[in-house]
Structures are given as structure tokens and as C-alpha cells.
Amino acid sequence: MMQKKVKVLIYVFLVLWLHLPLFAGDEGYDVYVDEIMRSVARQMEKELHLVWTGDSGMMHEQVEEIGMKFNAYRRATIEEARALELHVINKLVQAINSHEKIQPYLEERPFTYKRVQVSISFKGENGSYSDGTVAHVSNAPDFAVIENRNKLFYDSNDPLDQNYDMEIHSEHYEEAERLVKASPRQDLLVHHTTEQEKAIDQLLINFTEEMWETCGLSRWSIGGKMTHGIEEIGAKFTAFYPATQESARELQVFATEKLLKAINNNEKLKPFLKEYPFPASRIKMRICFRDKKYLNYSDGSMESIAFDGNEITYYHDLIIPRKTVEPKYFPVRTEVLAKETYSEALKVVQNIPQSKRKFKSKTI
């Protein structure tokens, strides 16, 4: 049996490595589109430190639309994102229109901003920025649905809800162009990190590392409301172990107290805090409990715990038995198990002797 498994694995290894592309590009313009994108990517990396991550487009019998995606490893305000987006769109359009060999294949000549799509994501050490600044800017070209056609979209992230983008602003391309022409500052293309941003970035990096080392919490997203001072801090974590309500409570209190201590003891951050000392009511957190395959523990233990507005909510999964199907097909629903205020939870944890706590802390 072992020999047979080894043979299968060797066979698989050979097939996978010798595998040739099954479907090479077969249209004449493919190579030219590639040349254009590579030259723009090189230029953008050199000028603006934008990293080209991928491309998109609609190309069938002719080239209908060309798209490029970039990462920028810095923050951006709406003004900066607008200037950057327009700059890249213009460079891409110029490159397309000056490439002689692709001209016969373009569906429209000359190509304009209406036929290109550029998206730029702004990322930091903690992943995409989720602090009220622009996490993502993109344009919708001419083929998009009529209400979005030729518009620019500026999205932010909510650190607690990663299912949807939060659109913070949108505008027509021509309006964006007018605004950029009205304030043509070259330095808009690069973001200058503020003292607040430096301080909070370092604090959050240290906090997420500490949470992984001490509690095995893997950071999913972290940020908050920080455009006008530090108003709120939010974070979503995954714990790859099951938890009872009691251990989930202890974990939440431990993480919150650690974060509050880090914030309130940070002299560099103090001038930027909306309130000092920074209270627990300005912290939002969600901790999801999953196995190594990111599946819920549908065994009565916690599905997740959410801390928001000074209230902690405990969620668990309920299996709904059905007579007509086998148990593996039973539907599962996530429901609220219990709720309590943060101060109630803190009191309960404080009453647990240090020796019996799962997460030890001198300050709780």
C-alpha cells in the first residue's frame, strides 16, 4: 500500500511539473497588450512605487477594454487617491494610443479613459488599511452598468465586517479630472505619513504580534476610525481552537485590557486620542473560533464573540435536525447565546484567581 502511494505521488509530481499550458493565447493582439501593460507597470513602479499585481480586460475579436491592478504600500486620502488613479489611467491610455501595432485591433481609436480600468489597493503592514483612509480606488469603464459608467469609486474597509466594501466617495471621471486640474500638486502622488499614522501603525503591529504569541489569535483585520484623531479602534481575529463562553469571556477581557494598556501608555499616541484615557467603549472587536480549516465548531462551543459599544455578545451554532435528510445535511444556524456589558465581564474575570486563568495578566 505504501509503495503504491509513493508511486502515485511520484506520478503526480512528474505530471504537475511537466504540465504545459493547455490553452496559449492565440489572438494577434495578446502580445501587444502584454507589452503595453509591462511598460506601464515598469514606469509606475519606478515613478510611484506601485506594484503591478494583475490585469483584466474584455478582449474577444478586438480589444474592447484593458485593465490593470496595482498595490501601493502606503495610505492615501481621497485627494491623493484621485490624483494617483487619474495619473495611472492617463499613462495607460497614452501607452495604448502610442503603440502602433495594436491600433488595428482596438475596438475604438483613439482609446480613452472610457475603455481602461485601473484599480489601486493601499496596503500596510497589517494588510489593507481599515482606518477611514482609502483602501481601494478604481474606475468603472464604459461597459459598466449605466449608473456606474465612467465613475471613480473610493472604498474604505470596516475592520469588523469584511464582507462588503464601504464606499466613502464616488464621482464622475470628468469631475475628478476637473478637481485634479484645479490643484495640480505633484506631491499628491505620494502620501507623507503623519506622526499619528506612524504611532498607531507601530502600536497595532505590536498588539497583533502579542495576541498571536500569547493567545494564538490570528489577525484578520485591524484599524478603526482615525481620520480625525483616534476615535475608535476595531479588530477582527481568528482563534484556531474551541472556546466555552467562560474562556471566550476571559479572552475578550484579556485582549481588550492589553489593547487599552498599550494605547494609554503610549506617549506618542496621546496627543491624537479623541479621549484620554481611551475607554473600552471606543474599542470594537470580533473573535471567531474556527478549526484549522476555518470551519465553525458546531458542537455547542462558541462560534464567535463580538464586543461593540461596551457590550459583549456570545454566538454559537445550532444544528437544526430534519426528519427528511441524513444528519450531515442538517442546516446550521448561528444564534446569540448570551449578552453582557463589558464591566460585568471584567468583574467575572477579576474574580477568577490568577492561577486558574487561561490568560494571565497582572493588570486584570
To another protein, the closest distance from the beta carbon of 88 in angstroms equals 16
Identify which of 55, 47, 42, 219 has the alpha carbon closest to the alpha carbon of residue 124: 219
To another protein, the closest distance from the beta carbon of 214 in angstroms equals 14
Identify which of 51, 34, 33, 55 has the alpha carbon closest to the alpha carbon of residue 42: 51
CA quadruple 119, 125, 127, 130: dihedral positive or negative?
negative
Site string for another protein, 331-360 (x = CB under 8 A): x-x---------------------------
To another protein, the closest distance from the beta carbon of 184 in angstroms equals 28
Hey, is 263 helix, strand or coil? helix
Per-residue cell: 187: 506631491
Find the part of the chain contacting another protein (CB under 8 A) among 80-88, 133-141, 189-197, 267-275.
133-141
To another protein, the closest distance from the beta carbon of 218 in angstroms equals 5
The C-alpha atoms of residue 225 and residue 231 are separated, in whole angstroms, by 5
Residues 66-105 binding another protein (CB under 8 A) are 69, 71
User: Of how many residues is the chain composed?
Assistant: 364
To another protein, the closest distance from the beta carbon of 91 in angstroms equals 20
Sheet strands (E) in 200-290: 217-225, 232-239, 283-289
Q: Which is nearer to another protein, 6 or 271 (CB)?
A: 6
Q: Which is nearer to another protein, 55 or 308 (CB)?
A: 55
Site string for another protein, 9-48 (x = CB under 8 A): x-xx--xx--x-xxxxxxx--xx-xx--------------
CA quadruple 118, 122, 123, 129: dihedral positive or negative?
negative
Find the part of the chain contacting another protein (CB under 8 A) among 103-111, 188-196, 218-226, 346-354.
218-226
User: Are residues 98 and 32 in contact, defined by beta-carbon separation less than 8 angstroms?
Assistant: no
Q: How many residues bind another protein (CB under 8 A)?
A: 66
Find the part of the chain contacting another protein (CB under 8 A) among 52-60, 99-107, 311-319, 345-353.
52-60
Strands 332-341 and 166-172: unpaired
Identify which of 139, 105, 101, 103 has the alpha carbon closest to the alpha carbon of residue 120: 139
Strands 127-128 and 116-124: antiparallel
The C-alpha atoms of residue 358 and residue 67 are separated, in whole angstroms, by 51
**63 phi and psi angles, rounded to 5 deg:** -85, 110
| Of 148, 183, 193, 194, the one binding another protein by CB under 8 A | 148
328 binds another protein per the rule CB under 8 A: yes
| Of 59, 189, 318, 337, the one binding another protein by CB under 8 A | 59
Per the DSSP assignment, residues forming a β-bridge with 169 are 154
| Of 324, 350, 351, 354, the one binding another protein by CB under 8 A | 324
Residues at the site binding another protein, with contacts judged by CB under 8 A: 4-5, 8-9, 11-12, 15-16, 19, 21-27, 30-31, 33-34, 53-60, 69, 71, 119, 121, 123, 127-128, 136, 138, 140-141, 143-145, 148, 153, 155, 162-165, 212, 218, 220-221, 290, 292-296, 322, 324-325, 328-329, 331, 333
